[in-house]
Amino acid sequence: MSTSGLARALSGKAAIYTNSILKLIHPGNGRSSLNTLGLLLGNGFYNVRGGRYIKYVGSFGPLKAVAMVRLEYANGKAEIFGTDSSWRVRSGPITFSCVYGGEDYDARLEPVGWTRTNFDDSSWEAAVVVPGPGGTLKGFISSAPPVRAIETLKPAGIRPLKPGVAVYDFGQNTPLMPRLAVRGPAGSSVRLIPSELVKADGSVDRVSCGGGQAYWKYTLSGRGMERYFSKFFYHGCRYFQVECTPTATGGPLPLVDSLEGVVVHSSSAPIGEFACSNELFNRIRTLVRWAQRANMMSLLTDCPHREKLGWLEEYHLNGPSLRYEWDLAQLFTKTMNDMADSQLENGLVPDIAPEYTVFQGGFRDSPEWGSAFIVVPWQQYEWTGDLGLLRRYYEGMKRYVDYLASKAQADIVSHGLGDWYDIGPKPPGEAQLTPKALTATAFYYYDTWILAQAAALLGHPEEAKAYELRAAQIREAFNKSFFDPAAGRYATGSQTANAMPLVTGLVEPRHRAAVLDLIVNDVRSRGNALTSGDVGYRYLLRALAEGGRSDVIFDMNNQSDKPGYGYQLQKGATSLTESWDAGRASSQNHFMLGHIMEWFYHDLAGLGTDPAEPGFKKIIINPQPAGDVTWARARFDSVRGLIASEWKIEGGSFTLSVSIPPNTTAVVNMPAKDAGAVKENGQPASQSPGVRFLRHEKGRAVYEVGSGHYMFRAPWN
């Protein structure tokens, strides 16, 4: 069963053949009823053998199955049925199966009725029982939410190219599995070639960004209307090129009755809503969200077509942007175990996890990537208040920081990829504008700082003190190496070089305002253009927002004539692309540059949590109106309950409506020149029940409120 296989077992009492077990049990009518358990095996990442496009070749051996069913009866008895030598096996109708190259299904080879009870499998071979891998299970075993069929797309357009060949446009670049209805002679076939882009002649473009040859092929059985739904292969795409081929001896072409694209991704629940008066920003949110969806599988992939690998920098750099939109606590718990399982004995956490293949150089060892093992548990604590990941992986986290220390020279770490895909004079790739040592050492410091906090939270005061001292030592070395006091800048003065130290706490307080001004000046001098890449852009946004300069963020992103989100939309992108300029050679479905989602929720709408009381125990409402935005709203279903922040500027007034869930408090920052002019629900805010005035600072009246719904209003300008 190296390509695919069928396995089944018969029993007088067992009662299933798919994972929806209870719904498929056939009870007897006063006597035992035969039921069947059947499995269809595919290769997945377990057995990548090539034959078409591949990212790598690797196999864990012949296909195997482990299954157990426990049946509990009304009388309290229970029986267990599992895989053993009584099972029968044979090769199946899937003649080619590759997670990268596609899937071929020959309906002529499918045993008719094999999934039904009383099917005669006497000609099938007995299953071979093989030993387990031996040893002990490593790490904490956890599972991701299942990948499911989420929605179905119908073709937005069909373009015939020649007889038997047409291109179906589904209007959206997303991970699809085809659902085909076709009729024709036995032995005729339909090939479905997926692609993100099309050429000038309308045919699909597999060369620019697809990686190589990949497709589904369905060979007809000739039994009337036939229906095929892909079993194991999905592919990120917008288009299917449908090629109908007659039998080897000629004859009529098969006729496609219908073709749909089924969107598949993690069933992690959507928990966020955002909208504002700026339609470009709403389109950007949709652009980013589709890329997030496309890469949420049983891990967070970089792209759903040519790689499908878990590149770790996206986990933490996009962590907040992802968490505002989706309930990812379970998925992050599972993927943390992938990281722990991939960690080497020397402490290195490789750039991808699971590490299905071993890359070299910075593509295996880059601190900006491996630091996900430190930052993800910290973000999980910030967002949920749960110390579980910090507690479970604390020792492994220490080993990774020790590994970085072993690579450091005078507390400076210099290896890795740096600010990947920044905008420089060369094609995008490794950092061009910012020294790799700056970003690597900034993460070395931040990782160490997190360990100090984690040690204190977990009851290790001596270790907390030791990590605090080490972090202070790294901070001193960082500023000595990269800060130019005369120019007031870090290293090259790039947007990333100045933003990362600001956000991670490396800048001395007396220099913070000057460093922020340099960032603003750089952005303005470029006509409000960004230059930061995959690693730096989140820090650029955070530095500006935390410095009260959301006006600059607005100007950077409210345009379509320079590489950025609007530029991608103008070029026809329907999901976020890998490069800022949406170049055809780059992936057309990558969520790595989607950091702006955090700004939409946290800053523009103003919905955040107090780091001192994580898990939204204490909520911070602090909207930052910017540019021409006249209203914004965000809703977020936190672990504490639904939080909402909605504001609008209308009729000379600024109105802020907030909803705070039970058993929480919130600090509401209301834009107002005069605190005395602020009203809540029509009366002076300082006299409103449940509202306590705290202070007036930086043009904000600050209040503390309990759970409930509040509506604040104040004169605007």
d(CA 567, CA 556) in angstroms, rounded, equals 11
Is the link from the previous residue into 354 a cis peptide, with omega within 30 of 0? yes
Which pLDDT value is given to residue 18?
A: 35
Encode pLDDT of 359-391 as tens digits.
999 999 999 999 999 999 999 999 999 999 999
Q: Which of 27-36, 156-165, 319-328, 650-659 has the lowest mean pLDDT?
A: 27-36
d(CA 135, CA 130) in angstroms, rounded, equals 15
d(CA 303, CA 310) in angstroms, rounded, equals 9
More confident: 502 or 29: 502
| Pair 675, 646: CB distance under 8 Å | no
Encode pLDDT of 590-608 as tens digits.
999 999 999 999 999 999 9
> What number is the average pLDDT over the span 155-172?
98
Set out the domains of the chain in order of their start, with CATH numbers: 5-96+112-126 (no CATH), 147-266 (2.60.120.260), 272-604 (1.50.10.10), 618-715 (2.60.420.10)
d(CA 394, CA 495) in angstroms, rounded, equals 33
Q: Kindly tell me if the per-residue pLDDT of 190 is higher than 70.
A: yes
Residue 525 sits at the vertex; the CA angle it makes with 520 and 531, to the nearest 5 degrees, is 75
Encode pLDDT of 465-508 as tens digits.
999 999 999 999 999 999 999 999 999 999 999 999 999 999 99
- The confidence band for 550, taking pLDDT boundaries of 50, 70 and 90, is very high
d(CA 649, CA 633) in angstroms, rounded, equals 12
| Pair 435, 481: CB distance under 8 Å | no
Cβ-based neighbour number of residue 224 at 10 Å: 7
Which pLDDT value is given to residue 13?
A: 31
d(CA 478, CA 483) in angstroms, rounded, equals 8
- The confidence band for 183, taking pLDDT boundaries of 50, 70 and 90, is very high
Q: What are 264's strand-pairing partners?
A: 149
- The confidence band for 35, taking pLDDT boundaries of 50, 70 and 90, is confident
Q: Which of 64-78, 154-168, 424-438, 593-607 has the lowest mean pLDDT?
A: 64-78
| Pair 370, 355: CB distance under 8 Å | no
Total-model pTM: 0.94
3-state secondary structure 406-460: HHCECCECCCCCCCCCCCCCCCCCCCCCCCHHHHHHHHHHHHHHHHHHHHHHCCC
SS3 212: coil
User: Distance from first CA to last CA of the chain, Å, rounded?
Assistant: 72
User: Which residues, 6+ apart, have CB-to-CB distance to 509 below 8 Å?
Assistant: none
Which pLDDT value is given to residue 134?
A: 65
| Pair 359, 351: CB distance under 8 Å | yes
